Structures are given as C-alpha cells and as structure tokens.
C-alpha cells in the first residue's frame, strides 16, 4: 500500500501557503504566493495540487468563516475586511477540482492542532494556541476536539482592562478601537504607538511592559474559562523576552487564585519556526477527515 499524501492550504490575509506532507507530517513540497482576487489565487492552489496530488487536504483560512459542517454555507468567508472574498466558499471551490476528503477551519485552529499533535502540547489533553501578529486569534482544543459553538472563537476581540500608562492610546481595531485585545496588543498597535515595528523595537522599550500586561490578561482569561494544560503563543510579535514578561504579569493578575503548573511550562512560545504549526496541523486534520470518511 502506497504512503498517503496530505495537503495543506493556509489561506492568510496577505499570502497563501500550500504544502504537501507524508504520513509523518513531514513537509515535502511548498508553494507561497500573495493573496489576490479569489479566482486568480485559487488557480495557483489548483495548479499546485495538480502537480502534487494528495489523498486529502485541510484548509486553514482567515476569517470570519463558516466552519459549521451542518450549515448550508459551510466553507464560506463571511464579513471579511477583504471585500473580494466575502461570500467566497472554499469548500465548493476546492471540490470543483478535488474529489478527496476536505476539512476546513480557521488558520489559528490549524496552528492549534499542529501544536496539539506534533508541537509543544503533544503530550497534553488540552491546549490553547494564541497568535499575535497583524491580528490576535486563538484556538482551543479539549480531548481532540476544537472548542466552539455556532462559529469559531473570536478571543482577540474580548474586552480588555487598559494599562494605566496606555489610556491615551485610541487603539487600532476598526470595530472596538482600544477596547479589545486586538486593538491594543496586535502588531499594528505597537507600531502605531512607537512608529517602529515590533521586530525592530528594543526589548527595553516601555511599550513591551504594556504589551505583556495585555497578553497576560488574555492568558488569565483563557485559564479561567478553559483551564487548558498549556497556553502557547506564536506569531510575529512573540519573542522569548516578551513571554517572560507575560509570565510575570500573569502571576500578578492571578494573585495566587487559580492553580497552574510552573509558568515556564504553562505559558510558552511555539516550537515551530515560520508558523509551520498551521501546515502540520492541516496535515493532521486532513488525515483525520480521511480516516473518518473511510469509516463512514
């Protein structure tokens, strides 16, 4: 019996990453191209997988997106700021040229599943993955299942308590200004305050203390709401110095209330480079949906 091949489509707001992996979830082939108009972008996707056939594939996409498999619009992009993609249905578009098993979720859920299956949460029954970059999002897994109800989680838009030194900053979220995590802690908020992108900002800059305070709030909210075994941070804003500041702030916010493991083991950064957690997660999800379809 020939080894199965699994496909990953990571549909980001600025770029698509298509990849093929084997049964050990090793990346064999990759193609990266800008996110353009739907027809042109999906033509690149189709060409890649025609050249590199797979048995099943999983899509992790920017949102908001309908991930309810019982919904008549499952796979459709909803009220996205990317106007050209509003109403576009990934599932229908892919099934026009691919007859194998297909799964779809959010890009952050794909990353969460990668951490859960092959990354820093591999030995855990539950985990949360938080991405902090252009935006803020999170995925939660409990006992091999994504946590969610009628739609995917929007943790980045949760209400926030402002840092005392940050009241003058109006925030960058187009919906909530400075009242949500994304408005005051995503990458654009750092540059809006300082005029310098986060990756070029010295670690002793006072804005990092403010950033850590907000991410520690987010970590605390995740702990008291989901009680995960581990919280993993990834994305372009995250670095080890920031993670250590988050641990310190988390301890102050918690004030000894909820029991957590050693913070060095509970609040950690991703073990994957270049956000490969999403690709590996998609391979694992493609394998999962293929097995489920074969058993049906």
* Confidence (pLDDT) at 225: 96
Residues in contact with 244: Cβ distance below 8 Å, sequence separation at least 6, in sequence order: none
| Confidence category of residue 120, pLDDT binned at 50, 70, 90 | confident
* Confidence (pLDDT) at 149: 63
Question: What is this structure's pTM?
Answer: 0.93
| Fold match between domain 6-107+274-295 and domain 120-269 | yes
Tell me the percentage of the chain whose pLDDT exceeds 90.
83
* Confidence (pLDDT) at 150: 62
Is the pLDDT at 1 greater than 70, yes or no?
no
| Confidence category of residue 98, pLDDT binned at 50, 70, 90 | very high
Is the pLDDT at 235 greater than 60, yes or no?
yes
The full set of domain ranges for the chain reads 6-107+274-295, 120-269
Sole residue written with tokens 């050990």: 24
| CATH class name, domain 120-269 | alpha beta
Q: 14-28, 45-59, 117-131 — which is least confidently predicted?
A: 117-131
How confident is the model over 21-40, as a mean pLDDT?
96
- pLDDT tens per residue across span 131-170: 999 899 999 999 889 997 667 888 999 999 999 999 999 9
Is the pLDDT at 35 greater than 80, yes or no?
yes
Backbone angles phi, psi at 10, to 5 degrees: -100, 105
How confident is the model over 83-112, as a mean pLDDT?
96
Is domain 6-107+274-295 in CATH 3.40.50.2300, yes or no? no
- Three-state SS string over the chain comes to CCCCCEEEEEECCCEEEEEEECCCCCEEEEEEEECCCHHHHHHHHHHHHHHCCCCEEEEEECCCECCCCCCCCCCEECCCCCHHHCCCEHHHHHHCCCCCEEEEEEHHHHHHHHHHHHCCCCCCCEEEEEEECCCEEEEEEECCEECCCCCCCCHHHCECCCCCCCCCCCCCECCCECCEHHHHHCHHHHHHHHCCCHHHCCCCCCHHHHHHHHHHHHHHHHHHHHCCCCEEEECCCCCHHHHHHHHHHHHHHHCCCCCCCCHHHHEEECCCCCCHHHHHHHHHHHHHHHHHHHHC
Per the document, the length of the chain is 296
- pLDDT tens per residue across span 54-84: 999 999 999 889 999 889 999 999 987 788 9
* Confidence (pLDDT) at 151: 73
How confident is the model over 175-180, as a mean pLDDT?
95
């Amino acid at each position: 019996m020939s080894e199965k091949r699994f496909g990953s489509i990571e549909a980001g707001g600025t770029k698509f990453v298509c990849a093929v992996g084997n049964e050990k979830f090793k990346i064999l082939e990759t193609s990266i191209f800008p996110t353009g108009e739907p027809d042109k972008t999906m033509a690149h996707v189709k060409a890649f997988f025609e050249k590199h056939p797979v048995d099943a594939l999983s899509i992790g996409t920017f949102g908001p997106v309908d991930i309810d498999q019982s919904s008549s619009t499952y796979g459709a992009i909803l009220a996205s700021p990317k106007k050209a993609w509003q109403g576009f249905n990934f599932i229908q578009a892919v099934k026009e040229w691919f007859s194998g098993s297909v799964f779809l979720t959010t890009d952050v859920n794909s990353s969460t599943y990668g951490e859960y299956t092959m990354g820093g949460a591999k030995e855990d029954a539950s985990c949360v993955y938080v991405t902090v970059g252009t935006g803020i999002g999170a995925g939660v897994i409990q006992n091999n299942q994504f946590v969610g109800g009628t739609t995917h989680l929007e943790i980045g838009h949760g209400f926030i308590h402002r840092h005392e030194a940050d009241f003058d900053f109006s925030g960058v979220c187009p919906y909530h200004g400075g009242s949500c995590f994304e408005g005051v802690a995503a990458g654009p908020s750092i540059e809006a305050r300082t005029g310098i992108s986060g990756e070029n900002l010295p670690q002793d800059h006072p804005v990092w203390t403010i950033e850590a305070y907000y991410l520690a709030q987010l970590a605390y909210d995740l702990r008291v709401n989901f009680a995960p075994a581990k919280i993993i941070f990834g994305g372009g804003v995250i670095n080890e110095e920031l993670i250590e500041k988050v641990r310190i702030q988390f301890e102050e916010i918690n004030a000894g209330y909820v029991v957590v493991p050693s913070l060095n083991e509970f609040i950690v950064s991703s073990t994957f480079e270049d956000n490969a957690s999403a690709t590996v997660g998609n391979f694992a999800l493609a394998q999962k949906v293929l097995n489920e379809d074969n058993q049906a």
